[in-house]
Homo-oligomer: A and B are copies of this chain.
Amino acid sequence: MRFGVLGTGMVGQTLAGKLVSLGHEVKMGARQAGNEKAQAWVASAGPSASAGSFAEAARFAEIVINATAGAWSLEALTAAGAENLAGKILIDVANPIAPNSGMPPQLSFCNSDSLAERIQRTFPASRVVKTLNTVNAAVMVNPALVPGRHHMFLCGDDATAKSEVAALLVSFGWPPESLIDLGGISNARGTEMYLALWLRLWGVLGSSPFNIRVVSNDF
């Protein structure tokens, strides 16, 4: 498959690297074609890796991943171009962290809205799936870093898109039974607001990879 990974930070590089290792073709998108971090990644990642502008990465891709900083994601996706995103699965892994909001940081918006909903509203022809935003980059692509059973959430309005994303997560190492479908895209409010607890657990646990397991008699 051809993936466009928008974002050159830790999350973008980690996801792009994993996709290449799984045999996919990946174009990393940045604000400007020729971005240094993207070029360095291409040099290290081999012939299936390439880089370009947000628009070039989105145009290239069959599946687009938003791994930009949440505060700038709508701007980045607008630069990518609605016409280059139309009809495609758009995996949103970002959290709308408010810049300069202290430590632990706050969200730019939440509760009555979410980044994933804003993206779906702004790009109604795209098939937005929210997932992976509840763990750090290393765990996203290597869930076995966290021992035993733990869960990954996904939500979105397009059931077929969610199935394809679930299969992608399984290819990353997430066991099928670890995936919890929360329903439509508005449920991203739940996983984005969980960031407030995640940040505090991170404060307690330090650098140790962690995640949560939902525990019940049925689950």
Given contacts A111-B111, A193-B193, whether A200 and B219 have CB atoms under 8 Å apart is no
Dominant secondary structure of chain A at its interface with chain B: mixed
> Does A110 lie within 8 Å of B205, measured CB to CB?
no
Give chain A's interface residues, CB within 8 Å of chain B: 104, 106-107, 110-112, 146-150, 153, 180-183, 187, 189-191, 193-194, 196-201, 203-205, 208-219
A214: which of B106, B111, B210 is its contact (CB, 8 Å)?
Answer: B210
- Distance to closest chain B CB from A36 (angstroms): 34
- Distance to closest chain B CB from A104 (angstroms): 8
> Does B193 lie within 8 Å of A196, measured CB to CB?
yes
> Does A190 lie within 8 Å of B197, measured CB to CB?
yes
Give CA–CA (A94, B213) in the complex, Å. 23
Chain B residues contacting A203 (CB-CB under 8 Å) are 182-183
Q: Which residue of B lies closest to A213 (CB)?
A: B213
Q: Can you add 7 more A-B contacts, CB < 8 Å, to A149-B215, A213-B213?
A: A104-B190, A110-B193, A146-B216, A147-B217, A190-B197, A208-B219, A211-B216
- Distance to closest chain B CB from A159 (angstroms): 15
> Does A196 lie within 8 Å of B194, measured CB to CB?
yes
> Does A215 lie within 8 Å of B106, measured CB to CB?
no
> Does A213 lie within 8 Å of B210, measured CB to CB?
no
> Does A196 lie within 8 Å of B200, measured CB to CB?
no
User: What are 26 A-B contacts defined by CB distance under 8 Å?
Assistant: A104-B190, A107-B111, A110-B196, A146-B215, A146-B217, A147-B215, A148-B215, A153-B197, A182-B200, A182-B203, A182-B204, A187-B200, A189-B196, A190-B197, A190-B198, A190-B199, A194-B194, A205-B216, A205-B218, A208-B216, A208-B219, A209-B216, A212-B212, A212-B214, A212-B215, A213-B215
